[in-house]
Structure 1
């Protein structure tokens, strides 16, 4: 079971996601079995933020002086999933999710789901530095997304 502790420092998130904890819990509930980790307690934190904050973090931790859609901070490079495991932190920028501003709520939520899945895989040790790793991560991302979207929509 995956537990997501959700924090928000950007008020605009509340306009699009009324019950944030429930929204992310639902996403995790519909992950394929191997990513739900049955009989285990997986925990992560999620900060719903904005471009200003995420730009600062991106500069401090990745030396990139620009905002981004998501940052993931895995607890360790090689995650060993045991009975109780804290896997790390994610930060998602509202400004990236809300583009274009004319998008409807359904598209906004789908973008958040996709971004959350991407960050989740980073917490599990996936990356996309090498081409083969990118393809592997993208393939897993698509499998998870299809599983979630088919049940949420």
Structure 2
């Protein structure tokens, strides 16, 4: 996992996704999802610090909980999960919620519903 600044994440986002703005998390898989079991490295998860810090503050979440959520989110992307449609999003959010519960982090989607 790499913690970067918004400017660098905006550069990467522009270069790789044609979206030259910062985003909270970017993932760069090193292998295809069906190759993860034997892979020495899954890929890179990059967080944009300023964006992550601002989101945590605006959403009333602790920075550590929000970072934990985004790392879990990014790792799930490395395993091939996505949220391009409602069914995928629902499945990915359920996986995130279960993983975060094991880490003692509250359900971030329940918090979103309260704000």
- State the match for 1:69 in structure 2: 24
Shift of 1:63: 0.5
CA root-mean-square deviation: 2.0
Q: Unaligned stretches of 5+ in structure 1?
A: 1-45
* Residue 113 (1) aligns with residue 68 (2): yes
Higher helix content, 1 or 2: 2
- State the match for 2:111 in structure 1: none
* Residue 54 (1) aligns with residue 12 (2): no
Cα distance change, pair 63–133 in 1 and its aligned pair in 2 (3 A): same
Cα distance change, pair 102–85 in 1 and its aligned pair in 2 (3 A): closer
* Residue 79 (1) aligns with residue 79 (2): no
* Residue 142 (1) aligns with residue 97 (2): yes
* Residue 129 (1) aligns with residue 73 (2): no
- State the match for 1:97 in structure 2: 52
Structure with higher Rg: it is 1
Shift of 1:101: 8.1
Q: Unaligned stretches of 5+ in structure 2?
A: 106-115
Higher strand content, 1 or 2: 1
For residues 53-88 of structure 1, what are the alpha-carbon distances to aligned partners after superposition, in whole Å with 9 as ceiling and x for unaligned?
A: 000000000001210000001113323202x53110
8 Å contact from structure 1 (residues 79, 87) kept in 2: no
TM-score (norm 1): 0.61
TM-score (norm 2): 0.80
Shift of 1:102: 5.9
Q: Measure the CA separation in 1 of the matches of 2:98 and 2:56.
A: 28
Equivalences for residues 4-43 of structure 1 within 5 A: none
Paired residue total: 102
